[in-house]
Structure 1
Amino acid sequence: MKFSENWLRQHVPTAASREELAATLTAIGLEVEEVTPLGDALDGVVVARIVSARKHPEADRLQVCEVDTGAGIVQIVCGAPNARAGLKAPLAQVGAVLPGGVAIKAARLRGVESFGMLCSAKELGVDPDASGLLELPADAPVGAPLREYLGLPDATFELKLTPNRADCFGVRGIAYDVAAATGCAVAPFEAAPVAARSEATLPVELHAGADAPRYCGRVIEGVDAAAPTPVWMAERLRRSGIRPISLLVDVTQYVMLELGQPMHAFDRDTLRGPVGVRRARAGEGVRLLDGRDAALDPEFLVITDADRVVALAGLMGGHDTRVTEATRNVFLEAAHFAPSAIIGRGRRLGLHTDAAHRFERGVDPELPRIAIEYATRLILDAAGGTPGPVAEAALSEHLPTPRPILLRRARLARVLGMQVADAEVERILRALGLAVEPAADGWRATPPTRRFDLAIEEDLIEEIARIHDYDAVPATLPEGAAPLVAPSEARVDEASVRRHLASRDYLEAVNYAFVDAALLGRWGLDAGAVPLANPLSAELSTMRTALLPGLVAALGRNAARQQARVRLFELGNVFAAAGEGAAPAEAARIAAVACGPARAEQWGVPARPVGFHDLKGDLDSLAAVAGARLEYRPAQVGWAHPGRCAEVFRDGVRLGWLAQLHPRLQQALDLDVEVVGFELDLAPLLARPLPKAAGLSKFPSVRRDLAVVVAEPVPWAAVAASVRAAAGPVLRDLVLFDRYQGKGVESGFKSLAMGLILQDESRTLTDRDVDGTVAAVTAALQRDHGAAIRS
């Protein structure tokens, strides 16, 4: 928010110096980013009129001007392209010193004497425009000191406002905070209703419910739209960072900057009526003021004329109904739009307007009529005209209504750690515009309609703290010791997981939780994706449903920068839609990816690319930290290589996937290397059974080796499950020590050699016991998998 210091002082007549005012604004949370002094050194600069201008005899780009200073005619040599007879412009007389230390002296330029300098706005330090002389209005009094005529000296203040302080996007709103902090009173604001002098009107209608609960409009006939903008208004706009355009446009901008209420002016003769507000329909469009054509959908709120779209509500007016210097009849509008109906709409069209900036944060719902009356008075004073009655449509049930907030005296003291006098509390709240009533244990305060940010007791406590002075709040450390919480033994902590993966040569990656929706679609993981209502960009528009897409993208960026061996992991949350009106479901996951050589380059081990079983080993070692034994079952997943993908289970619960990326996906992602990765649910992976002490069996164990022939597609995990189920509790361990295909084994089959470690807790196993167990295992393998003992 940028504004003129003199403009603010008109609303709050504080005696604070410029430096004190800037320090006060920052101290109360309205951070001053920059203060730019204007016109501090303009003694000797007057309003002058060029009587005549002729070409310099020795220079094509110079003119010799005869200039009336109000005290006589002087000769000035000027190189400005807009210097011409009849123009009124600032003249720095001989002896003046301009900002920057430029001293004005009599001089001879190419043989012609010059007694002063006609000035641009930049040379005077009042505006960065250096394209030509600063053109003054035709009624500017010749000979008058320029600083008096332009209301100088002044300064431009630029504030960095937080999103919750929407009320401070108008000079009037800032004045309330300054008044509360400096002990002044805000000057009364004159916006008396302007009586209608004609019956000219346009009916207004509301068809958008809570999105647009108030709309005001007024017709003013016979306006001289070509009338110049008053110099005081033009200067305030210029010092607020807005270049004056034309009177009607400038008035709407001026009212927005002063009150915080965006407005728009239509050429009445381009409207048929009624004027309405509704949601856009699919396929509708409108040409905007800047000439671009906007394609609309039902997410947009539009202003209509006889159901024809003529403007984007809260964003920008339409090109076909704009005001020009030929406009004679104008229709002014001021409305209240809900922030949720405006947020993000401008970004979708590549627009960022002052109106949208305010409506997105919230505008006082009581301002539209006040703004209409104020703008009417400004237009009548500068351009004449005949006003009609104000037409207003309102849906009172949808207008926000401030509710009283109880501020407890004891709570205030407890949160601030200090006592604030009752009289000071009441003064601050009333100075900020709140209605205050005493309560049994404190105060009941009702915020003004402009303060959307005041809703709970803590909001009022913050107001007291920032106005009373944050520096007055004691810096007292809390007493007592923080309770120590012992880590749970039933879960492996995430720090241990990070350390373990780092020890296996992985680097941790931290990616955004939102990704490009097109990327999820490429992976086939867009089902249940949650789109963001207000994304930072199109590439970050959707909450991620999996970690692997973002992690592989990070791997790809590293591989594209000549990193041959990349190993990354990430712990993070994924999101999925949970039904209409419900918050998205959130789940913690762990994922890892790898590409390039299996081991770092060295001379002692032959180089080979990382593969499926390398990551399986890493995953098994990670599971072992939690005492888990993982099971792998062949699976088919759209993004995975059809023959190198497995679902991962623990105790019958599916945790996720371990797979190599599908070649088609690798090509779509522009990856030149094979990528292997896994993604698992974090909570069931890290669950750790509590250790139980148990004595070692004093009876010996027995090992029996068994070789069976099974069909090639049968996985070892299924064979092991059958063995454990058949052997029962005497099976202490099961080891696969050989896998063979070749001579002696039929094609399409494989030989698996396993060792069964058998032991009983209560007795020594006999040969009969062992033979019976082996027979049960053999029968189970034959029954479950068609296995046969290898001869």
Structure 2
Amino acid sequence: MDLTPNRGDCLSLVGMAREVGVLNQLPVKTLDIPAIPAQSNEVFPVELVSPEDCPRYVGRVLRGINPQATTPAWMASKLARSGIRCIDPVVDVTNYVLLELGQPMHAFDLSKLEGRILVKKAEQGETIRLLDGSDATLNDDTLVIADDKGALAIAGIMGGESSSVTETTTDIFLESAFFQPLSIVGRARNYGLHTDSSHRFERGVDWQQQVRAIERATQLLLDIVGGQPGPVIEAVSVEHLPLQPVVRLRHDRVDAMLAMAMPADVIEDILARLGMTLTSDVEREWSVSVPSYRFDITLEVDLIEEIARVYGYDNLPVRTPMAQLPLPPIPEAKVAVSRLRQHLISRGYQEAITYSFIEIGLAKQFDPEHEPLALANPISAEMAVMRTTLWPGLMKAVLYNQNRQQTRIRLFETGQRFISSDAGLTQQNVVAGVIVGNRDAEGWTAGKDKVDFFDLKGDVESLLGLGGQGAQFSFVASQHPALHPGQTAAIELQGQVVGYIGALHPQLVHELDVSSAAFLFEIDLDAALSGRLSRYVALSKFPEMRRDLSLVVDQAVSFSTVKAIVAKTAGEFLKNMRLFDMYQGQGIEAGRKSLALGLTWQHPSRTLTDEEINNSVNAVVSALSQECGASLRD
């Protein structure tokens, strides 16, 4: 049986019985809990120092219990079937009341208490040893139960070892309290805890049943371990107790939201079965008093939701919604994200979906230039900040697969990265990818070579070419904190950096324990999806003219620089330019390299002459010589 977080009232046998009775129109038996008369006048004083966090605290002294008594078999069996192990009769009774009524309770050894009970905030740095044997250093926003010596328990979460009930305990002080949900939410997680008590207090317990719970526990304890109960004491701050809401419900609103004419007697019957009190001073309207155990009902729509749920969603009429559903126009030139994904899949990649939350250490390693946005209530330390790049999640996926003997990994992801600045939070859509391991998939003809920078660059170039303007992008040598200093390029579009590509930095390779070199890219998604409308151009019927150039340039000169110069000076009829060889070694002086280019010209309406081609070649060679010191190879 699964419960949503808003239904804390069902975290008990009484609550579940109440819900089953409502849904099946069955009467629910009420648990008869008589008030146990006091046999002594002894009380232990209680002071609410933080009444806004604990507006009601109920206690009772019980002396002379039998420490040799054992938990009866019927109770032990019920606790075991509920997943709770037996400890001793006193603790078992408090656990039983927790399951039965949904009210967490605690029992202190009275002989270990000094002075009075104080319900207050902890001192910053105060320590307490808990019942599970762990030591907790408390924050000053944590509510504790204390006596004159110090903290006895973390309120609503777990008791302390110093005041715990043992096999020699003969006198106890029973606690039954109401803690405001916001005072408990997140506190257990701060100390690495999650208990049955915190689970219930976080969702809200009935703030009117504390006395009823302590009477039930007293009844059970007297039957099992005996003893002499003192009077029930109650410390309460009425102004801090939750208000019992009275919600206005309009019949017309019910009919409109459920798209049917709901009879008034059906509405009244459903709400009455849910424990609500109805009064009506206006025709077709009710004032509905919500019971104290329903923290999730404060608005009219909450009541209508309950009516629909109990009436049965399957019994409501099905109607097509009458609404305008405008579809936003999509630029015709823009590449669809689905096409981008399919393209990468066709090139051997697999799509990954990773968390937007990462650990702060990983965020600093991959992107130290941006301060990550910290979460107020992180799920864990490994998910404490918002990612500023998709690379950490992809690399964790790589490591996960490598640890499972995967030797060839190609992953990509589309998602958001979150950049925090003085101007606010920027959420940027990006596409990122990583390749690791063998170049070819395993097979008879597969080679043993590992992937390199140019394998990834080829994939990225094909991706950027989907929109028909791949030539507008350029790869410029650059630096990035997460990438290898000598194998990093910025991806530029019209002079603006839109992404990065490169090998993972050797230091990160070592720290992450990656088995082989990893190559990554990340590009702004809008830039990657940008394109231009294609237009029909007739195929030329005239021959192509090709010239091959073997150039010698400095080692630092990139092909993109050479390509830009050639495109600028070769003339309008240059159809294609291809780098088909690169050479370094014998015959080439140190610090230089040889690039072999294939240049193809074609005119759409006539045959180009040798003189025109030679003039273009000479212009290219001259420009290369002047702008990047290139010379023709002998």
Q: Deviations over 1:528-554 (max 9, x none)?
A: 05457352x665565544333333333
5+ residue gaps in structure 2? none
Deviation, 1:421, is 1.3
5+ residue gaps in structure 1? 1-30, 32-159
Q: Deviations over 1:251-288 (max 9, x none)?
A: 43344334322121223332234533445455432222
Name which one, 1 or 2, has greater alpha-carbon Rg.
Answer: 1
Whether contact under 8 Å (1:741, 1:749) holds in the other structure is yes
Whether contact under 8 Å (2:468, 2:534) holds in the other structure is no
Residue of structure 2 equivalent to 1:667: 510
How far apart, CA to CA, are the structure 2 residues paired with 1:577 and 1:374?
54
Residue of structure 1 equivalent to 2:488: 645
**Larger RCO (CA under 8 A, 6+ residues apart):** 2
**Correspondence for 2:55 among 214, 223, 226:** 214
Distance 1:190 1:579, change over 3 A: farther
Deviation, 1:179, is 4.4
Distance 1:592 1:188, change over 3 A: closer
Deviation, 1:612, is 0.6
Matched, 1:365 2:365: no
Whether contact under 8 Å (1:225, 1:246) holds in the other structure is no
Residue of structure 1 equivalent to 2:433: 592
Q: Deviations over 1:724-769 (max 9, x none)?
A: 6x66995866735465656776543456676888999999999999
Specify the code of the residue in structure 1 equivalent to 2:372.
G
Whether contact under 8 Å (2:60, 2:229) holds in the other structure is no
Q: Deviations over 1:214-273 (max 9, x none)?
A: 241435264535496896994796487356655543443344334322121223332234
Residue of structure 2 equivalent to 1:618: 459
**Correspondence for 2:114 among 272, 278, 289:** 272
Whether contact under 8 Å (2:565, 2:620) holds in the other structure is no
Distance 1:308 1:721, change over 3 A: farther
Distance 1:481 1:178, change over 3 A: closer
Deviation, 1:417, is 4.6
How far apart, CA to CA, are the structure 2 residues paired with 1:324 and 1:604?
73
**Correspondence for 2:236 among 389, 392, 396:** 392
Distance 1:404 1:685, change over 3 A: farther
How far apart, CA to CA, are the structure 1 residues paired with 2:550 and 2:503?
31
Deviation, 1:619, is 0.7
Specify the code of the residue in structure 2 equivalent to 1:264.
H
Distance 1:452 1:188, change over 3 A: same
Matched, 1:627 2:468: yes
**Correspondence for 1:715 among 538, 552, 558:** 558
Distance 1:206 1:717, change over 3 A: farther
**Correspondence for 2:227 among 383, 391, 407:** 383
Residue of structure 2 equivalent to 1:420: 262
Deviation, 1:671, is 2.9
Whether contact under 8 Å (1:215, 1:333) holds in the other structure is no
Matched, 1:503 2:346: yes
Query: Which has the larger displacement, 737-746 or 428-437?
Result: 737-746
Residue of structure 2 equivalent to 1:533: 377
Matched, 1:453 2:299: no
Q: Deviations over 1:464-509 (max 9, x none)?
A: 13323445335x3637899795754243222211221122122233
Specify the code of the residue in structure 2 equivalent to 1:385.
P
TM-score (norm 2): 0.79
Specify the code of the residue in structure 2 equivalent to 1:533.
N
Deviation, 1:591, is 2.2
Residue of structure 1 equivalent to 2:102: 260
1:86-105 equivalence runs, <5 A: none
Residue of structure 2 equivalent to 1:472: 315
Deviation, 1:596, is 3.1
Deviation, 1:632, is 1.4
Deviation, 1:168, is 1.3
Whether contact under 8 Å (2:39, 2:228) holds in the other structure is no
Deviation, 1:574, is 3.8
How far apart, CA to CA, are the structure 1 residues paired with 2:124 and 2:439?
54
1:464-613 equivalence runs, <5 A: 464-474=307-317, 476=318, 478=320, 485=327, 488-515=331-358, 519-520=362-363, 523=366, 527-528=371-372, 530-531=374-375, 533=377, 535=379, 543-575=386-418, 586-600=427-441, 607-613=448-454
What percentage of aligned pairs have identical amino acids?
38
TM-score (norm 1): 0.65
Deviation, 1:388, is 6.5
How far apart, CA to CA, are the structure 1 residues paired with 2:445 and 2:222?
92
Whether contact under 8 Å (2:555, 2:591) holds in the other structure is yes
Specify the code of the residue in structure 2 equivalent to 1:431.
R
Deviation, 1:338, is 3.9
Q: CA RMSD in A?
A: 4.8
Whether contact under 8 Å (2:14, 2:101) holds in the other structure is yes
How far apart, CA to CA, are the structure 2 residues paired with 1:593 and 1:333?
57
Deviation, 1:337, is 3.0
Secondary structure of 2:411's counterpart equals strand
Matched, 1:161 2:3: yes
Q: Deviations over 1:632-658 (max 9, x none)?
A: 122233332221121222233323221
